[in-house]
Copies of this chain bind each other. A is one copy, B any other.
Amino acid sequence: MNNEELMDLLNKVRNGEVSTEEAGEQIKRLNFDDLGFAKIDHHRAVRVGVPEVIYCENKALEHIEGIVKNMMERTDENILATRASREAFEHIRKIAPQAEYHELARIVTVRRKEIHQVPGTILIVTAGSADIAVAEEAAITAEMLGNPVERCYDVGVAGLNRLLARLDVIRRANVVIAVAGMEGALASVIGGLIDKPLIAVPTSVGYGSSFHGLSALLTMLNSCASGVGVVNIDNGFGAAYLANSINRVNLNQQEK
């Protein structure tokens, strides 16, 4: 029930078209959604081109298919399915023929309307080539959310010179996402070189005492570079989501 509907109801009460009892019931049934603090979900939907998101891990293929079907019928939004296997993609494609599969990122995208672009760029950097899967999850997500993305992969400590050689690119970005496993030192190195918001994504790449990403996670949380925001191990999606919200800061409403 939005504002107009509420005024309409009250007018009907005034006119005697609706009894006070009935109006009282309707108002008490007021879904919190209508009262402002719960408009969140719809608020998201109203923005131009924001996709619906499905986290596919552990979901049955039929279940995923059902959700996509529902989305295809109910809205005209783009769709982003993360942690999707190729089989999940096949199931989605049956419902949404325009679906594309991003193999490395394990993401399925269904583009149904144009994505409104923000001006600033999100730069995604990885330490090694094994971190690229997580980086691509971030990259595709950021693009689907309307952000220009630059990739700068495999520039870990051993390739420090390559990283330094691209400092201009790094400095042009609005937000940087650093993706690294093993010891995760990349975040600290980049944090020391730039003055932009930096999001660090530890990955589970490594073995032995990397403890499935714990080593990189702790490194990033303890970074001597001030002001690094860390997300969960392998959480490329979350990093892109945060980068997107950062990338929209200080844009005026119409652009947003």
Contact = CB atoms under 8 A, between A and B. Distances in A.
Interface of A: 3, 6-7, 10-11, 13-14, 16, 20-21, 23-24, 27-28, 30-33, 35-38, 40-41, 43-44, 53, 57-59, 119-120, 127-130, 156-161, 164-165, 167-168, 174-175, 182-185, 188-189, 191-199, 202, 204-235, 237-251
A220 B37 CA distance: 22
> Chain A contact residues: over half helix, strand or loop, or mixed?
helix
A24 B6 contact: yes
Contacts of A209: 213-214, 217-218, 221-222, 232-233
A208 B215 contact: no
Contacts of A206: 222
B226 A156 contact: no
A214 B224 contact: no
Contact of A160 (B189, B232, B237): B189
Nearest to A239: B227
28 contacts: A7-B20, A10-B24, A37-B167, A38-B164, A40-B193, A40-B194, A44-B195, A57-B207, A120-B249, A156-B192, A160-B189, A184-B219, A195-B245, A197-B246, A202-B208, A204-B208, A206-B222, A208-B213, A209-B213, A209-B214, A211-B218, A214-B218, A215-B219, A221-B231, A229-B230, A229-B242, A230-B231, A247-B250
A212 to B, nearest CB: 8
Contacts of A129: 59
B32 A164 contact: yes
Contact of A182 (B28, B182, B223): B223
A3 to B, nearest CB: 7
Nearest to A243: B227
A159, A223, A232, A237: most-surrounded residue (chain B CB, <10 A): A232
A224 B156 contact: yes
A132 to B, nearest CB: 11
A72 to B, nearest CB: 19
A129 B119 CA distance: 36
A229 to B, nearest CB: 2
B213 A227 contact: no
